[in-house]
Amino acid sequence: SQQGEEDPQALSIQEGENATMNCSYKTSINNLQWYRQNSGRGLVHLILIRSNEREKHSGRLRVTLDTSKKSSSLLITASRAADTASYFCATPSNDYKLSFGAGTTVTVRA
């Protein structure tokens, strides 16, 4: 089942610019995870933020979490053509099931 919404649905930016996408979820969580999916491929885990964390960095990625608003954001800085992909947030339930957001499709123009 889908956990919530992501916005925007699609994002087109110039190489070198930053890309920000947001995710909202409905239930209480232990952590929130972000994944990338290249066209026609499986998902790759990018970063996980725990419910007691507010911000986390990994390379050019920055994730924030606001549990009071049940929302998270993913920022990709200094985007590259290789960042072109769909990005999904996901939250695990107690029975290990991952619920995915609707996804944001990012296109980085050279």
Partner 1 sequence: GAVVSQHPSRVICKSGTSVKIECRSLDFQATTMFWYRQFPKQSLMLMATSNEGSKATYEQGVEKDKFLINHASLTLSTLTVTSAHPEDSSFYICSAPHRGTNYGYTFGSGTRLTVV
Which residues in the chain belong to E strands, given as ranges? 6-7, 10-14, 19-24, 31-37, 43-50, 55-58, 61-66, 71-76, 85-92, 98-100, 104-109
Which of 2, 18, 27, 58: binder of partner 1 (CB under 8 A)?
A: 2
Which of 26, 54, 80, 97: binder of partner 1 (CB under 8 A)?
A: 97
Which of 28, 42, 68, 82: binder of partner 1 (CB under 8 A)?
A: 42
Q: Which is nearer to partner 1, 10 or 78 (CB)?
A: 10
**What separation in angstroms does the CA of 108 have from each of 20, 65, 74, 77, 86?**
12, 25, 15, 12, 11
Residue 81 near partner 1 by CB under 8 A = no
Q: Which is nearer to partner 1, 39 or 68 (CB)?
A: 39
- Classified as helix, coil or strand, 75 is strand
Residue 43 near partner 1 by CB under 8 A = yes
The region of 15-23, 42-50, 55-63, 69-77 touching partner 1 under the rule CB under 8 A is 42-50
Residue 20 near partner 1 by CB under 8 A = no
Among 85, 105, 79, residue whose Cα is nearest residue 15:
79
